[in-house]
Structure 1
Amino acid sequence: MQPNSSARRDQQQPSREKGIDNRRGHFGNLNAGVAHGGGRQPANVVNDEGNAAVIDTLINSAPFQRLSGYATGIFKTWAPRLYEYCSMQFERLLSSDSSLLRIFDNSVMAAAAFNFGPRTVCVPHIDYGNLPFLWCWIWSLGWFNWKKGGHLVLWDFKLIIEFPPGTVIAIPSGVCRHGNTCIGKKETRYSFTQYSSGGNFRWVDHSFKTEEKYRASLTKKEVEEEKVRKEGRWEMGLNLFSTLEELGLHT
């Protein structure tokens, strides 16, 4: 398979250093893929030459290819409508601009984050830039006693969930405040996440125009119709979820 190159980038990322402070915690991390943050339209994430090489190695490695494919299988099984919506929008986005990179051929998620730790402990946060009703796929990795630490905490739901290394959890990270508990001083914890920016979907829905240009192109009646669509978007998103009965399962 031809490697997916992340060398060409359009949104700058920090250097991969241990102990970098970011809004999610005190650890180094890098992102890759297509994002819509801080710019006027979706673009490839920028990494310097050294970090791009690290990202390319990880993305094209068999372990991360398998993690991505496994998450896709779960996604298609448990939320087929949401999966199809995400797939359709992502394909439309990619077809609109040949420079945009698909980092995982077996995934419909537009971007990924690699958290290098070495002790990845996330403080409570919400990923506001992500599509609110879309799941974010989080893999826990490393070597730590998962009975004593590294638990996923969903603060709004008052849930604390054991999160062993090598397991994946999917949450709507754009609306769900989350983080994880500490691990031992001599333990290591890393994480790998796949997500999609809400701005990507808005760009597609707005005929590949900025919010300003899209609104300027609408008639007064269309402006009112767009307002109604926005107000009902949360319900549209919820209707993309599947019930156990639809999936042929019964409680």
Structure 2
Amino acid sequence: MGGGQQYPTTCFNTVIKTVVLAGLLAQKPFKHIAGFTNSLLKCYAPDLHTFYSETMDHIHRWNPNLRCNFSATVSVFAAATFNFRPQTITFPHLDFANLAWGWCAITALGDFDPNKGGHLILWDLKLIICFPPGSMILIPSALICHSNTSIGSHEKRFSFTQYTPAGIFQFVDNRFKSEKEVNSTEMSAEERAARVEARKIRWAEGLKMYRKCPSALP
């Protein structure tokens, strides 16, 4: 959802890519990574985790045929991306399609010297983080500009990311209608005003989900 679709759908891939992705998602290492990420989100932002979980429950009740990358007990994220270039390096960017206050899980994989390259840069926070293979971080990728540094010419770096497009949350909030469909619906001036006001406070309501679980406090 978010790439022009009017409704949430399973991502389209070629037959070969579908077979390859199905094989990757069935592998225990990726199930373990997804499960670990899910546990961290639940521990450090329980309200946000609940919001993601309830949204996915609504989506699958709306369309039980939508295929999940992992079971609901493993991960609450709707989507995942594998970056298997020999050297996965990104320029500074924001993931605009993601939920503004939502978190994106980034996991580094490969074989490289983390002291010499592959560092994660969070530009807005002025942080350069040593990010060895196997490292994972949760960030609001739609808000914090991020990238990673290059590695040696003989080294390899891959990445595995998990996220949920903002369009899915919007679709559920619109009572299973696209934004275009809602805007074309006849509404009174009061209803439209209420819709505008609700959007104004949505950001503040989202930030409240950053409450920490007491057990996660240092």
TM-score range for the pair, normalised by the shorter chain length: over 0.9
The structure with the largest helix share of the pair is 2
* Alignment map for 1:1-251 (pairs within 5 Å): 35-105=1-71, 106-215=74-183, 216-243=185-212, 247-248=214-215
- Paired with 1:248 and 1:95, the residues of 2 have a C-alpha distance of 32
- Following TM superposition, by how much is the alpha carbon of 1:195 offset from its aligned partner in structure 2, in angstroms? 0.3
Deviations 1:86-134 (A, max 9, x none): 1001110111112311111111100000000210001111110001111
Q: CA deviation at 1:167?
A: 1.2
Greater relative CO, 1 or 2 (CA 8 Å, sep 6+): 2
In structure 1, distance between residues paired with 2:16 and 2:124: 39
TM-score (norm 2): 0.95
Structure 2: unaligned runs, 5 residues or longer: none
Q: C-alpha deviations, 1:127-162, integer Å up to 9, x for none?
A: 100011111001000000001100111111111111
Structure ranking higher in strand proportion: 1
Question: What secondary structure sits across from 2:209 in the alignment?
Answer: coil
How many angstroms does 1:175 deviate by? 1.4
Structure 2: how far apart are the matches of 1:250 and 1:200? 31
Count of paired positions: 215
The offset of 1:202, in angstroms, is 0.3
Structure 1 stretches of 5 or more lacking a match?
1-34
TM-score (norm 1): 0.83
Over the aligned positions, Cα root-mean-square deviation in angstroms equals 1.3
Alpha-carbon separation, structure 2, partners of 1:193 and 1:219: 42
Shift of 1:250: 5.6
- In 1, the alpha carbon distance for the partners of 2:216 and 2:31 equals 29
Q: 1:36 to 1:99 in 2, by over 3 A?
A: farther
Alignment check: 8 A CA contact 1:42 1:200 kept = yes
Query: Structure 1 counterpart of 2:135, which letter?
Result: T
Is the contact made by 1:36 and 1:43 (CA closer than 8 Å) also made in structure 2? Answer: no
